[in-house]
Amino acid sequence: MTFAGWIPLFLSARGGQPQVDWGYMGQERFTEPFCHETLHKLVARPFNQMFRQQSDLDLLRERAHSRLGLPLQGMVFHISRCGSTLAAQWLAALTDSVVLSEPEPLDTLLQWPAPHSDAETIRALLAALGQPRRDSDRSLFLKTDCWHTSHIDRLLSAFPDTPWIFLYRDPLEVLVSQQRMPGWHLVPGSMSGHGLRPPEELMCNPLGHGAWIMSAILKQARQAMQRHGNGLLMNYSELPGALESKLAAHFGIDLAAQDMASLHAVTGRSAKQRHVAFQPDAADKRAAADAVVLELAARWLDEPYQALEQMRNDKSPLPQAGEG
């Protein structure tokens, strides 16, 4: 079976054996802010309910030889709540791109041990997900989950010539956002499959657990900048202007060939609530930081954040492109 028009909906391990569940997508596009929104819609469709196909990883790897997928032109790593969804939506508004924003099948694959999750399989999975959806599609972009920074060496080694960015924000502001609406990585023990195991004292403290995870993410990003080429640090304070002034150049995007009105429309609205106009909130979040947040930031986050800022300022003498 060629699986033309089919994509991996999810990966699972049944009877101890890795398995790919395929569903039909055809020419539809990943347009929602996150891949799982599109994938869950596809899973629920009657056709895929009735005719969903399963295979082992060998078929996934073999298919990559005949259906190469679009070339990966850029990867976005991030700390969470820092404008990464805005960056992904901006990339999705390009006239020639496919964007995979936090694809769940990749999250599953990265937690599997070798040899199931080697570089070949990672490339094969992104090839299967990153097929062209329009005649004009030429490039693929990947936005990872924030905790995938723990796998940054593996991902950069799988795509050694691909430019990448690490997008981050003052962690005090991130913690306030996570306090209001906790993300998955605040669940104690949730990141063990990704090799992130906070101290036992934090296993009954979700916000503390999240602060430790974020500190690990910042440290891993700094190490990746030292070990790998093609990296760029971007702070939330530079958005949205840096998407045009820095990101486009770093990813080799020719803005002269793009519909700039569509790109500007993205930066003028909230990335996660697209009917709402974008409003800067850094000052509000800092004002809302309580004693708990301040203590956690001081204990776990201030030092790795300042180390990244020093590295960004040393390597990026350009003035900030604007607040956001």
C-alpha dist (Å) from residue 225 to 30, 51, 324 = 29, 45, 24
What's the pLDDT band for 197 if we cut at 50, 70, 90? very high
Query: What pLDDT digit, counting tens, does each position of 58-88 carry?
Result: 999 999 999 999 999 999 999 999 999 999 9
Cα–Cα distance, 36 to 106 (Å, whole number): 11
Q: What is the pLDDT of residue 278?
A: 73
Q: Which domains occur in the chain, in start order?
A: 6-315 (3.40.50)
- Edge-first strand order for the sheet with 6-14 is 6-14, 17-24, 53-55
pLDDT at 216 over 80: yes
pLDDT at 133 over 50: yes
Percent of the chain with pLDDT over 90: 87
Q: Are 272 and 101 in contact (CB under 8 A)?
A: no
Among 74, 117, 123, 77, smallest CA distance to 220 is for 77
Cα–Cα distance, 278 to 69 (Å, whole number): 34
Q: Say which DSSP state 258 is in.
A: S
- Mean pLDDT score, 114-139: 95
pLDDT at 324 over 70: no
Q: Which carries the bigger pLDDT value, residue 274 or residue 200?
A: 200
pLDDT at 1 over 60: no
What's the pLDDT band for 315 if we cut at 50, 70, 90? confident
Tokens, residue 77: 């790593």
Query: What pLDDT digit, counting tens, does each position of 238-279 carry?
Result: 999 999 999 999 999 999 999 999 999 999 877 677 667 777
Helices and strands (H, E) in the chain, number of each type: 15, 8
Cα–Cα distance, 98 to 38 (Å, whole number): 13
Q: What is the pLDDT of residue 323?
A: 35
- Mean pLDDT score, 168-195: 97
What's the pLDDT band for 134 if we cut at 50, 70, 90? very high
Cα–Cα distance, 265 to 277 (Å, whole number): 10
Tell me the pTM: 0.94
Could you tell me the maximum CA-CA distance found in the chain, to the nearest angstrom? 59
pLDDT at 8 over 90: yes
